[in-house]
Structure 1
Amino acid sequence: MRLSNAHKTLLALTAAAAFGGFAATAMRDLFDAPVEAAPAAVVPATPAVAALPAAVGTTPLPSLAPMLARVTPAVVSVHTKQRVRVAVGPFANDPMFRRMFPQLTQERINESLGSGVIVDAARGLILTNHHVIEGADEVSVTLADERTFTAEFIGSDPDTDIAVMRIKASNLSALPLADSSQLKVGDFVVAVGNPFGIGQTVTSGIVSAVGRSGLRGLGYQNFIQTDASINPGNSGGALVNLNGELIGINTASFNPRGSMAGNIGLGFAIPTSLARGVMDQLVATGEVRRGTLGVESQDVDPRIAAGLGLSEPRGAAVTRVFAGSAAAAAGLKAGDVIVGANGQHVDDRNALRNFEGLQAVGSRVELDVVRDGKPLKLTASLREQPRALAGAELDPRLEGATFAELPASLRQSGAGGVLVESVARGSRAARNGLAKGDVVVAATSGDFDDLPGFRASFTRAPARLVFRVVRGGGRGEIEMQ
């Protein structure tokens, strides 16, 4: 019987897996076996174990080495330094002491290690994670050939954890970016990075899930989940397919005992379909502009589902459509339930917000809507999401304050409201007690959950304006005079 090439490859993989399992079991038994004294005995000589063959029949055993020879030169180690000043002396932990004697401090250098991926050899562009270079005063990049260069910061986006750097160097290798939207659960992947600073390391696994979101504290999300080991220091490294193409930027691993406990097979990577768009905006303008529908929404619970004639409690129920918004132009109405966007399920309002946050200004979005119990499709062209509002534009009592959206990481942890981004010294807002960093979670102006809702709540200014504010873990109320 003649075997096809596919059968030969399957046979080779099966043989390799069997050998690996045998070897692992043997080593485990060797290390787990208790040490005991035993009488000497004459044991017949055992035959030597044969070496793993180079081929099964005429089919060579599969190896990742040829592909990795092309990939590893494009994966770099990222070394950051941050200068911080710390108080010294027996009263260093006393805030009053530090305020009275600021000169009694010393400079300390915090250093950290991560990874990065060269994606444009001609321009020396490197993709990494925002959290790898956040707050750094100096960033250097070491290539696989041991050359080290100072990196120039191009821009970063905390909400997607993407950063772009540039180095001036010759003879660079870059990875081509694959279409990550074509990934399927079960596809083989390889992670390359610099875990724990021990040097470039390669791990392999499969795609465990795609489109993963809902992880607390990680901003806008559309992660590739993989069981390839991703440990501290792997952040910013490459996740590649078997063709050696970049499909993701490794960003996080999950472990209930903390990241330093090591890998347990729950790793996450930012797909190239997302990273490419963020990178292009950062290189062109140094910042990221996001699109928005311009709606407020709420989760669909069983009571709302029954009232709207839905078959299941799923989706984002529109409670308000802002005038002049993309949603208004598309014909969306209060009472509509958005259950899908561009073919993706929208299970709740956080899923809708996450979807919006990953779209560029001008993106055309096809919405799956339920209206009066009947399915409906609407098409919207997203408009720019406002990033900040001057308080004086909303109400004279807020003169001097600037309000901004909460960082996506806070929203993912369940927070809602708006951030007081700045307060001018001596301004009316400052005299009223508002401070930079406050989070306004409620106001007598009306209900709101985000910056557009906050703006809309001032359609009719209230006679008495009171803010409920979160500051430093405490809550309080401030009346704006």
Structure 2
Amino acid sequence: MKKLFFLSLITLTFVYAKSSVEFKYAPHNMEREYPTNQNRILSYNNILENVRTSIVNISIKKEISGTQLNANPFFNDPFFKEFFKGYGDIPQERIQQALGSGVIVSQDGYIITNNHVVDGANKIIVNLAGDKKEYEAKLIGKDEKSDLAIIKIEAKNLNAITFYDSDKVKVGDVVFALGNPFGIGETITHGIVSATGRSGVGIVEYEDFIQTDASINPGNSGGALINSAGHLIGINSAIISKSGGNVGIGFAIPSNMVTTVATSLIDNGKYTRAYLGVNISDISDDMSKFYNGNYGALITSVEDNSPAAKAELKRGDLIIEVNGKKIGSASELKNSIGSYAPAKTVTIKFLRDKKVNTKSVTLSILDSKTVNGELEYKGLKLTQINSTHKQQLNITINGVLVINVDEKSEAYSAGIRKNDIIIQVEESEIATLDDFKKATGSKEKKRVFIYRKGYILAIVL
């Protein structure tokens, strides 16, 4: 017997309560526009074919020397130390190789890349697109604080890239990343601008990155980020990744910063930043209410005899503009001032007591400056010894502690090393950073007395 199933029709009535929110809808009659059809191929080949010859592959060789006793953990064993006693340390030399990218910026061979690509290199080799010849490059100059460097090869009639004003880059712009990822050779990836003005990432001291989701991988460093017109908007520098591969968060140094630093490196071999002489911070929403709802860089202290002090800026002033460019954060002020050369006079607009004030400030540079309790001087980074330092180093003396030394600096060449303690300069005993600044005020070389592991040494710096 067949079983019959009856489907009854039930009419339901839905009653919608009137919402207090009116939702915004797109027009129902919107039409789609198709960028191409079966008879046409959408392509950027005409743009990329020209730009690709402006990108170079860079390989470096770096000689690293040390001792096997230090490098090999077996030689730290007392038995092995005793076995090799009298023979001295066994020398160890090895060649470290690394790969990166660069961008041609002049027809006669100037190339810009990242400082971390060429830092410490004994030999820099450049390969041009479509050219089997290898070119040995000379390091012209580098700037660690922006992670930029200039190298040069002996060549003519190269295809120099065209720069674009990075201040005009917009989120959503179509971009391409060109470089040499993983050393596989010339590669182009595609994406958009995800954000602009990224700072506080912690990669370098001066950060104003363009963020993109175009694939950037190891080896892309120093390569180009270009817009859909084929113009350079940034130099690819870093990625955020747990695995080391691309996850869609890449950072490029904006072209305006690149041209400023590169010009100085080519002309002078170094980049010297201007100095205002203030400590600054961002402000919260609550703090913003005290400044008519404005945001900017809040001055927390002003150094004596600095350009800021001479212009009568003071703690509590909120800087909101420099030379007509709006300042929305402490990092924006830092990048803005750092983009000017010393002796440049700039117009600073700031808020004080809810009133807008304007001052002309002539920037300068100091051989030494104190930031957050640390002093930079001729490649040294110094701090005042405190009780924690004394306990860690098992010392009782006063002085200023060397917490870092730039290996390319004059101080390193003179013999100063990390954890040295400067106790005297000429006839002046040193107990504080202020003591050191006063004693080293002139540009003349001086005798510097340092304490190192129970010994006192004298050097000329």
When normalised by structure 1's length, the TM-score is 0.67
Pairwise CA distance, 1:244: 1.3
Change (3 A) 1:204 1:299: closer
Change (3 A) 1:244 1:316: same
CA contact (8 A) 1:141 1:150 kept: yes
Partner of 1:125: 110
Mapped to 1, the partners of 2:282 and 2:414 lie a distance apart of 40
Mapped to 1, the partners of 2:85 and 2:348 lie a distance apart of 55
Secondary structure in 2 aligned to 1:360? coil
Mapped to 2, the partners of 1:362 and 1:309 lie a distance apart of 30
Output the amino acid matched with 1:288. Y
CA contact (8 A) 1:403 1:419 kept: no
Partner of 1:172: 158
CA contact (8 A) 2:226 2:233 kept: yes
Partner of 1:158: 144
Secondary structure in 2 aligned to 1:235? coil
| Residue 347 (structure 1) aligned to one of 312, 329, 336 | 329
Output the amino acid matched with 2:59. H
CA contact (8 A) 1:230 1:267 kept: yes
Mapped to 2, the partners of 1:368 and 1:360 lie a distance apart of 19
Pairwise CA distance, 1:373: 2.7
Matched, 1:434 2:421: yes
Output the amino acid matched with 1:87. T
Mapping for residues 67-216 of structure 1, pairs under 5 Å = 67-88=47-68, 94=76, 97=81, 103-121=89-107, 123-145=108-130, 146-216=132-202
Partner of 1:274: 257
Pairwise CA distance, 1:94: 2.4
Mapped to 2, the partners of 1:314 and 1:387 lie a distance apart of 28
Output the amino acid matched with 2:225. L
Identity of aligned residues (%): 35
Mapped to 2, the partners of 1:107 and 1:174 lie a distance apart of 38
**Larger of the two Rg values belongs to structure:** 2
Q: Which runs of 5+ in 1 are unaligned?
A: 1-6, 16-51, 56-60, 390-400, 408-416, 437-442, 460-468, 472-481
Partner of 2:33: 11
| Deviation string, structure 1 residues 226-245 (Cα, Å, up to 9, x no partner) | 11111100000011112211
Mapped to 1, the partners of 2:110 and 2:414 lie a distance apart of 40
Mapped to 1, the partners of 2:228 and 2:380 lie a distance apart of 40
Partner of 2:304: 322
Secondary structure in 2 aligned to 1:281? helix
Secondary structure in 1 aligned to 2:279? strand
Equivalences, count: 372
Change (3 A) 1:105 1:366: same
Q: Alignment RMSD, CA only?
A: 4.0
| Residue 357 (structure 2) aligned to one of 368, 373, 376 | 376
Mapped to 2, the partners of 1:366 and 1:234 lie a distance apart of 38
CA contact (8 A) 1:290 1:357 kept: yes
Mapped to 2, the partners of 1:280 and 1:313 lie a distance apart of 32
Secondary structure in 1 aligned to 2:207? coil
Secondary structure in 2 aligned to 1:369? strand
| Deviation string, structure 1 residues 362-412 (Cα, Å, up to 9, x no partner) | 44433331212323233323222x2348xxxxxxxxxxx9565759xxxxx
> 264-273 vs 329-338, which deviates more?
329-338
Partner of 1:64: 44
Matched, 1:217 2:203: yes
CA contact (8 A) 1:369 1:376 kept: yes
Partner of 1:337: 318
Mapped to 1, the partners of 2:154 and 2:199 lie a distance apart of 36
Secondary structure in 1 aligned to 2:105? strand
Secondary structure in 1 aligned to 2:215? coil
Pairwise CA distance, 1:220: 0.5
Output the amino acid matched with 2:112. L
| Deviation string, structure 1 residues 432-481 (Cα, Å, up to 9, x no partner) | 96169xxxxxx9748x9xxxx9848999xxxxxxxxx9x9xxxxxxxxxx
Partner of 2:278: 295
Pairwise CA distance, 1:329: 4.1
Secondary structure in 2 aligned to 1:273? helix
Secondary structure in 2 aligned to 1:63? coil
CA contact (8 A) 1:318 1:338 kept: no
Pairwise CA distance, 1:131: 0.2
| Deviation string, structure 1 residues 339-359 (Cα, Å, up to 9, x no partner) | 4444333434x5543443333
| Residue 348 (structure 2) aligned to one of 360, 367, 375 | 367
Higher helix share: 1
Pairwise CA distance, 1:73: 0.9
Mapped to 2, the partners of 1:195 and 1:65 lie a distance apart of 20
Change (3 A) 1:100 1:68: farther
Change (3 A) 1:418 1:297: farther
| Deviation string, structure 1 residues 160-193 (Cα, Å, up to 9, x no partner) | 1111011112442221122212111111111100
Output the amino acid matched with 1:63. S
Mapped to 2, the partners of 1:66 and 1:192 lie a distance apart of 15
Pairwise CA distance, 1:211: 1.3
Pairwise CA distance, 1:293: 1.1
